[in-house]
């Protein structure tokens, strides 16, 4: 759905609530506190009150958004739906400043919405198992250091393995999905744990560069090593797919992060994976909403 379609389909708070109720309850509202279905919708007075229910058993009140990504929000759901669409359609990433301008929000609210949506992408992503030809690689991301890190600035900038930037390890199935995550310490062990968790080793072939952490895989599966000192592509022996993903990740990172914040890197990486893995889906907003209503 593009933004116009989102606005037509969800013109107001009521239509957004209706949609979420249908997805979550399928016609029978359930109290999230006690599980009772003896509940009654309250009378409305103002946007914040739309869709509030009273439970006759435990006397609590609740909304369809209880315990979800939209929990407790005072921002209109239409703005949330638009924000989700904007993020999912932003191939090069979306900054909170851009979101602030697009949806007429204040900066803090835009940042809050972005962070919650990113966290939801981490929480609700189904475990992915890659199979077939798998390219694995690592990269290092980070932006301008904060002022208090000036000492760091004076050190000569290192590149590649051994930098003070955040290390991200990733694997992609050719023609399929990508999985990437931040690792604190890149070692043979972290590489092994990562690949074992997300790759069907028996049914796959691994392509990597010559980093020694990957050598152990030769004993477990078919493993091709591309020596980047010599050449980048040798027939179908290459890691161009994962490198393509890294360049999308970095372009988005450097394009929108004016302040470097290590704490948010995992959320950020998860967002880029989610967008990459769903980019061919027709209605990614609907998928996101369906997932977010599974509590
Ligand atoms: Zn109840």
Residues 68 and 191 in one domain: no
Domain residue limits at 76: 3-124
Residues 88 and 213 in one domain: no
Residues 205 and 69 in one domain: no
Final residue of a structural domain among 69, 99, 124? 124
Tens of each residue's pLDDT in the chain, 295 residues: 889 999 999 999 999 999 999 999 998 999 999 999 999 998 876 555 689 999 999 999 999 999 999 999 999 999 999 999 999 888 778 888 899 999 999 999 999 999 999 889 887 777 789 999 999 999 998 754 444 444 444 444 555 555 568 899 999 999 999 999 999 889 999 999 999 999 999 999 999 999 999 999 999 999 999 887 776 667 788 999 999 999 989 887 776 665 556 678 888 898 899 989 987 777 889 999 999 998 8
C-alpha–C-alpha distance, residues 172 and 188, integer Å:
19
Distance from the alpha carbon of residue 60 to the mean position of ligand 1, in angstroms: 6
Q: Would you state the pLDDT for residue 95? A: 85
Distance from chain centroid for Cα 16: 23
Residues 17 and 82 in one domain: yes
Distance from the alpha carbon of residue 18 to the mean position of ligand 1, in angstroms: 20
Residue showing tokens 């000036």: 150
SS3 content of the chain, % helix, strand, coil (to 5): 45, 15, 40
Q: Would you state the pLDDT for residue 257? A: 61
Structure tokens at 172: 């992609």
Residue 135 main-chain phi, psi, to 5 deg: -105, 125
C-alpha–C-alpha distance, residues 149 and 146, integer Å:
6
Distance from the alpha carbon of residue 117 to the mean position of ligand 1, in angstroms: 28
C-alpha–C-alpha distance, residues 142 and 262, integer Å:
8
Q: Would you state the pLDDT for residue 263? A: 75
Residues 147 and 262 in one domain: yes
Residues 199 and 116 in one domain: no
**Strand order in 166-173's β-sheet?**
178-183, 166-173, 133-141, 205-209, 222-226
Burial of residue 147 (CB within 10 Å: 0-12, 13-18, 19+) is exposed
Distance from the alpha carbon of residue 77 to the mean position of ligand 1, in angstroms: 24
Q: Would you state the pLDDT for residue 47? A: 53
Distance from the alpha carbon of residue 152 to the mean position of ligand 1, in angstroms: 55
Q: Would you state the pLDDT for residue 159? A: 54
Distance from the alpha carbon of residue 64 to the mean position of ligand 1, in angstroms: 13
Residues 108 and 140 in one domain: no
Structure tokens at 61: 């009140």
Residues 109 and 156 in one domain: no
Q: How many angstroms separate the Cα of 243 from the Cα of each of 105, 138, 193, 215, 246?
A: 35, 9, 21, 20, 5
């Amino acid at each position: 759905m593009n933004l116009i379609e989102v606005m037509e389909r969800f013109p107001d708070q009521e239509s957004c609530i209706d949609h979420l109720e249908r997805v979550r309850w399928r016609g029978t509202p359930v109290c999230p506190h006690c599980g009772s279905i003896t509940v009654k919708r309250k009378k409305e007075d103002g946007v914040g009150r739309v869709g509030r229910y009273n439970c006759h058993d435990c006397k609590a009140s609740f909304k369809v958004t209880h315990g979800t990504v939209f929990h407790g929000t005072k921002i209109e759901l239409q703005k949330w739906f638009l924000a989700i669409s904007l993020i999912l359609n932003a191939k090069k990433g979306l900054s909170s400043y851009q979101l602030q301008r697009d949806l007429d929000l204040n900066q803090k609210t835009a940042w809050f919405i972005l962070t919650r949506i990113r966290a939801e992408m981490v929480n609700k992503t189904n475990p992915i198992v890659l199979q077939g030809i798998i390219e694995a690689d690592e990269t290092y991301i980070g932006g301008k250091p904060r002022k208090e890190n000036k000492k760091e600035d004076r050190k000569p900038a290192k590149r590649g393995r051994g930098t003070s930037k955040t290390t991200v390890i990733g694997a992609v199935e050719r023609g399929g999905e990508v999985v990437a995550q931040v690792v604190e310490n890149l070692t043979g062990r972290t590489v092994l744990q990562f690949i074992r968790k997300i790759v069907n080793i028996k049914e796959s072939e691994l392509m990597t560069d010559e980093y020694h952490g990957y050598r152990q895989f030769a004993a477990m599966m078919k493993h091709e090593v591309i020596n980047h000192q010599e050449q980048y592509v040798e027939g179908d022996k290459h890691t161009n797919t994962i490198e393509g993903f890294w360049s999308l990740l970095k372009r988005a990172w450097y394009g929108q992060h004016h302040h470097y914040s290590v704490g948010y890197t995992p959320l950020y990486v998860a967002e880029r994976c989610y967008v990459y893995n769903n980019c061919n889906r027709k209605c990614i907003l609907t998928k996101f909403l369906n997932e977010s209503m599974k509590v």
